[in-house]
Structure 1
Amino acid sequence: MPEYRRILLDGAAVQATVEGDELVAGDGRRVKTEDAQHLPPVVPSKVIAVHLNHRSRVDEFRIDLPDTPTYFHKPTSSLNSHKGAIVRPAGCKWLNYEGEVAIVIGKTARNIAPAEAGEYIAGYTIANDYGLHDFRDTDAGSMLRVKGSDTLCPLGPGLVTDWDFRGKSLRTYVNGEAVQDGSTDEMKWDMHYLVADIARTITLYPGDVLLSGTPANSRPVQPGDVVEVEVEGLGRLTNHIVTGPTAVRTDVGAQPTESEEVLSTALGGDWEFRGIRPPKR
């Protein structure tokens, strides 16, 4: 399966093809994959994410899925890359990982049927849909700051074409320990359905990204942690967590909170009823 990556090479953003342990630019220049400075593999006009899709995640929260999916938007300013730093603002505590498969649009899509959607998909990459749950109480369901804050949408390492999304494993690791273990087969709505659903009223352009949902066991991570998302056939997306140099301003807007909803979401549902206490900071 062909894989393409965007990297910074001698100061310029270029697309390179993966050949063994090297990345080859269009002009023939080569760089070792491990030495390359990665960029997000695509430049989307928008990033749209489904709220809940994996059965294990739904079971974890002991809820019922609606008959059709619901979505939220991540601004493009949240984009990040393979090996990029994920910034948890100073004063915030509840930053969660969410390993996912990302769908990348290949040609303009509008008002298409699910059976046609595959023709409009360029390929797939890996995403980690980080959530800053300190702002969950103040976002009124929009998820704007929770999921859209700077650096919280790493994609990569590359764009893989001709990848069959069916029956693929998805695992997330924190400091080498497996913390999420799921499969694309546990998704209620597959990739084609999601593309067709969004394209009914929102035109999707080449490079646009749809995030397809995460399995159970999204939990908080701390500065210094290394988080990796591995998807069968797509590779492994690696990022590390850092503390932002400044706290969220206190002279404007709602401030981070630690309500029962914040803690319950960050810690996976009914934590207080299972004897799970918030981790020490």
Structure 2
Amino acid sequence: MTREFRRILLAGAVVETERLGEELVARDGRRIAIADAVHLPPVVPTKVIAVHLNHVSRVKEFQIKLSATPTYFQKPLSALNAHRGDVVRPKNCKWLNYEGEVAIVIGRRCRNVSQAEAADYIAGYTIANDFGLHDFRDTDAGSMLRVKGSDTLCPLGPGFVTGWDFRNKYLRTYVNGQLKQDGNTSEMTWDMNYLVADIARNITLEPGDVLLSGTPANSRPVKPGDLVEVEVEGLGRLSNRIVEGPLPIRTELGAQPSESEEVLSTALGGEWEFRGIRPPKKPGT
């Protein structure tokens, strides 16, 4: 049986609640309608780690050969956001893409476990939208620090669900009510247990830590005013509004937003230069 827990602000305090129907119930008995709640990220991680590529449809979209094992990047905790939180696109940027994903939540300290043992260390799951600010795709030498780590670009929620089986569940992303991504966890090359065991070979995972498990095809740019919603079967629907930041990225220093071939091809789903590997161009192109 699944159970869903949410962290909210209630009368000015951070409160952990359990969902019962259309209400959230705190441990002291206070109740609030879900529609009236101010949500926070449902878990408190010490780190957020994401796999680069995992869904077969995404690999096919970019016409590349998947590596033999997963590769990862990290999103800083300052990127965390919540259900109904605004996602900020800086004033002089325009290539902000959604990526609907299932997020794994660690339940107890995990280090050097087998794939078979990994399930015992997973507390549950939530939904993530792994937004990417591709204007900075040419910077940070492949770490994607600013692409994936800018403030507000890691919404999680709405709740944290226990007892959920990740196998063969649909994953869909909507923009202003229109279906944009339509995937399934069955198309993941590496499942949840593999990802946990792989990372835990040399990185200790702490309770609350989050692993993002990859997105299906059709990640595309969104603009201020757009409502982006990620729905995962059995986990609910994570909603976020895109807003324009009041200030541009400072221009007197550092790498600047770009519209290079790599930026455009990644944002728009074309050929992708991934780790320096590019498919050969077709004759006549």
TM-score bracket, normalised by the shorter chain, equals over 0.9
| Aligned residue type for 1:104 | V
2:138 counterpart SS class: helix
Q: 1:249 corresponds to which residue?
A: 250
Q: 1:140 corresponds to which residue?
A: 141
- What displacement does 1:104 show? 0.2
Deviations 1:81-107 (A, max 9, x none): 000000000100100000000000000
| Aligned residue type for 1:195 | V
**What is the distance in 1 between the residues matched to 2:81 and 2:143?**
21
Q: How does 1:50-69 map to 2 (within 5 A)?
A: 50-69=51-70
Confirm whether residue 263 of structure 1 aligns to residue 264 of structure 2: yes
Q: 1:72 corresponds to which residue?
A: 73
Deviations 1:241-265 (A, max 9, x none): 0000100011221100000110000
| Aligned residue type for 1:222 | K
Q: How does 1:54-133 map to 2 (within 5 A)?
A: 54-133=55-134
TM-score normalised to structure 1 length: 0.96
Could you list the runs of 4 or more consecutive aligned residues of structure 1 that deviate by over 6 angstroms after TM superposition? Answer: none
| Aligned residue type for 2:83 | H
- What displacement does 1:140 show? 1.3
Q: 2:158 corresponds to which residue?
A: 157
| Aligned residue type for 1:68 | T
- What displacement does 1:270 show? 3.9
**What is the distance in 2 between the residues matched to 1:13 and 1:253?**
37
**What is the distance in 1 between the residues matched to 2:95 and 2:60?**
22
TM-score normalised to structure 2 length: 0.95
1:245 counterpart SS class: coil
**What is the distance in 2 between the residues matched to 1:44 and 1:138?**
26
Q: 2:9 corresponds to which residue?
A: 8
**What is the distance in 2 between the residues matched to 1:171 and 1:270?**
23
Q: 1:31 corresponds to which residue?
A: 32
Q: 1:46 corresponds to which residue?
A: 47
**What is the distance in 2 between the residues matched to 1:222 and 1:249?**
20
1:227 counterpart SS class: strand
**What is the distance in 2 between the residues matched to 1:250 and 1:155?**
31
Q: 2:231 corresponds to which residue?
A: 230
Q: Structure 2: give runs of 5+ residues left out of the alignment.
A: 273-280
Deviations 1:35-68 (A, max 9, x none): 1000000010000000000000000000011110
